[in-house]
Amino acid sequence: MANTRKRTTRKKVNRRRVRRTPDPLTKLEVFYIAKHEIFKAAKKAGFSESVALYLMDNPESMPDWIVGDKGIIPTIPTPDEDDD
């Protein structure tokens, strides 16, 4: 007796991939990422490497929206050595 049924191919089941959310950045990581971006922007604007390093390192040369309490670069308190 001949088999008259059509053969059906099984569909491949797509398994759902679980994507991990990246760990949030610490204040120190945000600080150094922002510093690096400032350096790259200064170099792209045509400043020499020494001037770009100065602009990156000097907080007075940065606008208020970058440095400060509500800025991109968080203020990291440093311990005072004179408290002894």
pLDDT digits (tens, 9 = 90+) for 27-68: 888 888 888 988 999 999 999 999 999 888 887 777 777 776
Residue pointed to by tokens 């990291």: 76
| Residue 19: pLDDT over 60 | yes
Are the beta carbons of 39 and 31 closer than 8 angstroms?
A: no
Q: Is residue 5 part of a domain?
A: no
| 31 part of a folded domain | yes
**How many distinct structural domains can be found in the chain?**
1
Q: Is residue 8 in some structural domain? A: no
pLDDT band at residue 2, thresholds of 50, 70 and 90?
low
> What integer best gives the mean pLDDT of the chain?
80
Alpha carbons 66 and 59: distance in angstroms, whole number: 9
The answer to whether position 55 is within a domain reads yes
Q: Look at the alpha carbons of 75, 79, 82, 84 in this order and tell me if their dihedral is positive or negative.
A: positive
Domain housing 65: 27-72
